Amino acid sequence: MPQLTELLPVEAIRLDAPAPDWQGAIRAAGDLLVANGVSTDAYTQEMLRTVEEHGPYIVVAPGFAFAHARPSPAVHHTGMSWVRLVEPVPFGHDTNDPVRLVVALAATDASAHTQAMGALARLLGDPQTVDALDQAPTPESVRQILVRAEATAESAEPAAPTATKAARGSGGTHTILTVCGNGVGTSLFLKSTLDKVLARWKWSRYINTEATDTISAKGKASDAVAILTSREIARALGDVGVPVRVIEDFTNTKEVDAALRDLYDV
């Protein structure tokens, strides 16, 4: 399974790019994918349609948008691009606007890039790394920060957690869904943060987590105890028969921790 830095060559990083609006920001990221042979212009249009259809749910953290669409024939191979804007632009998100960093993903399937998404979510959840990336003067320096941070994160991965009494008392194995429009991008960000919180709680053995899309989530909801998602996707889902908790910052462990405490009355 490819790592983050394998999917993001220095040629796919652009700093201080101009963009008049959110469409221009996504196009800038899409142009880098095209220039590096990852995808075609058709995929860039698919990324734009995703936001037009589902709203700005791709703005998963303050100042950060994760542009993506479903795997399609317009994707030649899985890859990413990184665009830091010279001036931030609004995407229409209630709490995370304006956006200065746009990372785009083009994937050939829904699973091969999960490790890279988890790594990116962890890195962008670290304020020191975010600050360093924001101040990096060149694409080469951005990639070096990512390489170092990725290596540090891997060496610090916790051992497999053991179950606590509280988890055992919750009635066996539960499933929590993280949901986005396509099930291949932002939902993986949120799943990574959720997994991190569950590991800290030592509940991982008793709670399964699954990243999925809006259509699949409606069918899977009956087997889940809860759904974590964005405000836009929560509106699209409606009443699915299980609690739906809105997470504003998909990289914020404190926010996900609070949602779990509310769900489990901890």
**Sheet hosting strand 174-180, strand order edge to edge:** 207-213, 174-180, 226-229, 244-246
The string of DSSP codes covering the chain is ---HHHH--GGGEEEEE--SSHHHHHHHHHHHHHHTTSB-HHHHHHHHHHHHHH-STT--BTTEEEEE----TTBSS-EEEEEEEEEEE----TTTPSEEEEEEEE-SSSSTTHHHHHHHHHHHT-HHHHHHHHH--SHHHHHHHHHHHHHHHHHTPPPPP---HHHHTT-S-EEEEEEESSSSSHHHHHHHHHHHHHHHHT-GGGEEEEEEEHHHHHHHGGG-SEEEE-HHHHHHH---SS-EEE-S-TT-HHHHHHHHHHHHT-
Catalytic residue, chosen from 54, 68, 93, 174, is: 68
3-state secondary structure 196-227: HHHHHHCCHHHEEEEEEEHHHHHHHHHHCCEE
Q: How far is Cα 33 from Cα 197, in angstroms, rounded to an integer?
A: 33
Q: How far is Cα 21 from Cα 34, in angstroms, rounded to an integer?
A: 20
Residue 76 falls in the annotated catalytic set: no
Could you list the active site residues?
Answer: 68
